[in-house]
Amino acid sequence: MSGSLDAALVAGAAAALLGTSSVAQRRGMATTDDGVRGGLLAGLVRSSWWWVGTAASVGGLALQFLALTLGSLIVVQTVLVGGIVATTLAEWFLLGRTPSGIRWAGMILTTTGLITVLLALSPTAGTATRLPSGTALLLLAGTTLVLSAAAARRARRPGTTGIALSVGTGLGYGVTAIALKTVGAELASGWAAPLTHPALWIAVVVGPLSVLLSQHAFRRARAVAAAVSVIVVIDPVVGLAAGVAWFGEHVVVSTDAVVTAMAAAVTVVVGIVTSHSPTPIPDPSPSPSATTAVGDRTLVGSRSSA
């Protein structure tokens, strides 16, 4: 129990950092000139806010790795759902976007529904009798990269909201968590053990690429919190499947548990749809009370002018 509590507390801190980092990076995008030579990435590396967000993201990932070594993969990925709340609050303070009632409802439905799913299934930690094979991880990582590439290509179409990009990011984060959990388990055999397994290299490749994909997802999304909702739903589901299949974790599969979990899953879907509801565009005329200078850009009302 102590190990699970420690893992949950560390994962909670990770969720706060990761959720805040998303918005800090989005604020960095508000100061990025779309016409800068080298494109989006070149503009981002010139933004101090983007670096603040990146530092928070690295810190959050480090805490996530620590939490994964302390407890259950399913518990850790579930607690990371708290990133929705952190993102919503950070979006409010850093981007000046006061959440509407319907967006708050969407966040609450998504969070409550997903937590209910996992409470109904009651995941418990077990002994990792067998870790995922290198071949299995390579296939999983390859599939994720292909789907992410397809999502990135689809996002080039005008009018897309970033949902496909968020799905790709969630899959990437889930695969990264599996790889990190595997690395943590292998460390028990010595510091050199992870070097002989693809898990470490998959985490090194898929993790950063997923972060980069998330940047485009946040840019396309109507609100950062909406994109994060999709990501944090998919991420724990991947973790739940991997925890049961590879890391000896257990879930309740009684009729009541399954029915409750399915009903809660519907709530999650409703929450995601609600959080993606359009927000009315405010009057673009700036006023002293409705504008906040950000570098050479301006955030007006609840929407960025970037």
Report yes or no: 113 and 48 within 8 Å, Cβ to Cβ: no
Q: pLDDT tens digits, residue range 29-64?
A: 666 555 555 555 666 666 788 888 888 888 988 898
Task: Give the C-alpha separation, 148 to 7, whole Å.
Answer: 29
Cα angle for residues 40, 238, 112 (degrees, 5° grid): 90
Task: Give the C-alpha separation, 49 to 23, whole Å.
Answer: 9
Residue 300, H or E segment:
strand 297-300
Q: Which of 44, 75, 72, 76 is nearest to 60 (CA)?
A: 76
Task: Give the C-alpha separation, 116 to 276, whole Å.
Answer: 21
Token digits for 83? Answer: 């990133």
Q: Average pLDDT in the 18-36 region?
A: 71
DSSP classification of residue 278 = -
pTM higher than 0.85: no
The pLDDT of residue 273 is above 80: no
Return the SS3 of 292: strand
DSSP classification of residue 189 = G
User: pLDDT at position 263, please?
Assistant: 92
Q: Average pLDDT in the 247-275 region?
A: 84
User: pLDDT at position 300, please?
Assistant: 31
Q: How far is CA 64 from CA 9, 67, 233, in A?
A: 10, 5, 16
Residue with more model confidence, 297 or 235: 235
- Which amino acid does the sequence have at 23? V
Contacts of 109 (CB under 8 A, 6+ apart): 267, 268, 270, 271, 274
Report yes or no: 21 and 94 within 8 Å, Cβ to Cβ: no
Report yes or no: 3 and 29 within 8 Å, Cβ to Cβ: no
Neighbours of 127 (CB within 10 A): 8
Task: Give the C-alpha separation, 42 to 38, whole Å.
Answer: 5
Task: Give the C-alpha separation, 163 to 222, whole Å.
Answer: 10
Q: pLDDT tens digits, residue range 168-183?
A: 888 998 999 999 988 8
